[in-house]
Chain A
Amino acid sequence: MTVSTRPSPLHLLLAFASGGLLTLMVDFNGLVALHGNALYSSWVAHGTGTVAAILFLALMRQRPFPAKGGAAPGTPLWAYLGGVSGAVTVMLTSTTVNSPLALSGTLALGLGGQVVFSLAADRWGLLGLPRRMPKPRDFAAVGLIFAGSMIIIFGRS
């Protein structure tokens, strides 16, 4: 399964807004961590998020499982474990921001890790998602956005 979809302006807008949401989220969770600690902040965010998700699902008349009970047909068990990875991320980043890397180094290397994994994920269609061969222009876009991000991150520190 190979797709070569380009993002439409709607996709661009949604992804951009989602990045803005992330900025607010990091800001809010950071504030909670300041009053408590990093683990507590992530724990509270996941707890309140679970409640919010249940409310959203109820409002939109959706079920967490599409069929009655049990996992969705054809869904591997590991597909339910995305949250483990997210929980471990908090432990790692709260360690590295307090190392000589500080916040800017943590952010920069984190972006690097995301880029490498995402390119590989598209190239080989990792974890059951469509394969998508990166083209030269994709690399150019990645290069520009990555370079711009580095300038902002290190210009601030």
Chain B
Amino acid sequence: MTIAVLLALFAGVLVALSRQINARLALSTTALAASFWNHIVGFVVLTILGLVLGGLWPEGALSAPWYAYLGGTLGVIFVASGSWLIARIGAINTAMLVIGGQMISGVLLDLLGGADDNFVYSALGVALIIAGMALTQRRGE
């Protein structure tokens, strides 16, 4: 359990580290170029991992609905926008605003899917997130 906690924390650190590294590349190239390198390097690493560990072409590989395979394309835009933002508003603002957008859109997606049994918690959470996002917008000290 302790190891799982450390791994999960480290995964979060790696998300932020990756964004910071891509933003550094975007400084001397462009945000889109940084996103390209992120994906091609990740692809090479995962190919090697897959060849070593196996499971690179599992059964049912192409049986998911077609739109599910658009995840990678969305990822290109996601990485590019993160690289662009971080140089302009800093790492913590980028991280928190993206997390806020992720949480609120997740709640909306749940509601659209008809899952509203946690409505009170979700509404309270969304209210706190909006308050936090508003706080980043206030001028002056």
Contacts and interface: CB of A to CB of B under 8 A. Distances in A.
B42 to A, nearest CB: 3
Contact of B28 (A16, A73, A109, A150): A73
Interface residues of A, number: 119
A78 to B, nearest CB: 7
A96 B97 contact: no
Contact of A47 (B24, B72, B118): B72
Interface of B: 1, 4-5, 7-25, 27-30, 32-47, 49-50, 53, 55-61, 63-65, 67-78, 81-82, 84-107, 109-110, 118, 120-122, 124-129, 131-133, 135-139, 141
Interface string A76-119: 10111111111111111101100111000110011111111111
20 contacts: A19-B97, A28-B71, A29-B71, A29-B72, A35-B61, A36-B60, A46-B40, A64-B37, A82-B22, A82-B38, A83-B40, A109-B5, A117-B12, A129-B87, A129-B91, A138-B136, A145-B132, A145-B133, A152-B106, A152-B107
Contacts of A5: 88-90
B12 A114 contact: yes
B63 A130 contact: no
Contacts of A126: 20
A52 B136 contact: no
A141 B90 CA distance: 14
Given A62-B33, A127-B24, A148-B128, 15 more contacts: A5-B88, A21-B81, A25-B71, A28-B69, A40-B55, A45-B72, A49-B43, A56-B76, A64-B29, A74-B28, A89-B11, A115-B96, A117-B13, A118-B91, A145-B100
B20 to A, nearest CB: 5
Contact of A89 (B18, B69, B89): B18
Overall SS of chain A's interface: helix
A132 to B, nearest CB: 4
A92 B7 contact: yes
Interface of A: 3, 5-7, 9, 11-12, 14-25, 27-29, 31-32, 34-37, 39-50, 52-54, 56-57, 60, 62-66, 72-76, 78-93, 95-96, 99-101, 105-106, 109-119, 121-122, 126-130, 132, 134-135, 137-138, 140-156
Contacts of B47: 43
In the A-B complex, the 10 residue pairs with the closest CB atoms: A19-B101, A113-B12, A155-B121, A144-B132, A148-B128, A83-B41, A15-B97, A83-B42, A28-B71, A48-B72
A41 to B, nearest CB: 8
Nearest to B109: A23
